[in-house]
Structure 1
Amino acid sequence: MTRPAQEPADDDLETSVDDAIAACEGDARAAVRALLVAMHHCQIELEERNEQIAQLARDLSRGYSRGRWEDLLTRAEVAIPYKPED
């Protein structure tokens, strides 16, 4: 199972906000734009990795692995977007 995301401490969050705005020369709109672009790229990478995991799950013979890959992925806390049909 996946772990819930931990909320950053208020001081850390404020420092991160200040750092992001400072990196954009004090322009808050530019900082928000940069963070949204970064988040979009992270989302695309996450979707690509989930597709790769799903393809691996489809390619891996359940008989060959005797179902062990599901246990390994669960222990590694990897979300399985594709559940094999029994």
Structure 2
Amino acid sequence: MTQPASEPVDDDLETSVDDAIAACEGNARAAIRVLLVALHYCQTELEQRNNEIAQLAQDISRGYSRGRWEDLLTRADVPIPYKPGD
């Protein structure tokens, strides 16, 4: 099971902000734009993966898996997007 990422230390966060702005030649608006585009990309990828997981859950027969996939998802702290019989 994976642990959630810890909060960045203030110094690390400030260094990361400085690095992002420096990568955009000192333009803070450009740095924010790049970060927002990256965030949107990550959110889109996550949504796509969640949809794929939901489709796989629908495709797996409960009789075949005997409910094991639900146990695996629960232990991995993954929300169960579909329960057979719903």
Q: What TM-score do the two structures reach when normalised by structure 1? A: 0.87
1:53 aligned onto 2:53: yes
How far apart in 2 are the matches of 1:53 and 1:2?
18
Question: Which stretches in structure 2 are left out of the alignment for 5+ residues?
Answer: none
Q: Which runs of 4+ in 1 moved over 6 A?
A: none
Give the aligned residue type for 2:18. D
Write out aligned runs for 1:1-86 (5 A): 4-85=4-85
Amino acid corresponding to residue 13 of structure 2 in structure 1 = L
The alignment covers a number of residue pairs equal to 86
Residue 77 of structure 1 and its aligned partner are, at CA, apart by 3.0
Larger CA deviation: 69-78 vs 49-58 = 69-78
Distance apart, 1:60 and its partner CA: 0.4
Query: d(CA) in 2 for partners of 1:83 and 1:28?
Result: 46
Partners of 1:66 and 1:5 in 2: how far apart?
33
Q: Percent identity?
A: 80
Please give the per-residue CA displacement for 1:21-75, whole angstroms capped at 9, x wherever unaligned. 1111110000000000000000000000000000000000011111001111222
Length-normalised TM-score, structure 2: 0.87
Q: Which runs of 5+ in 1 are unaligned?
A: none
Give SS of 1:54's match: helix
- Tell me, in whole angstroms, the C-alpha distance in 2 between the residues paired with 1:45 and 1:65: 27
Structure number with greater CO (CA < 8 Å, separation at least 6) is 1
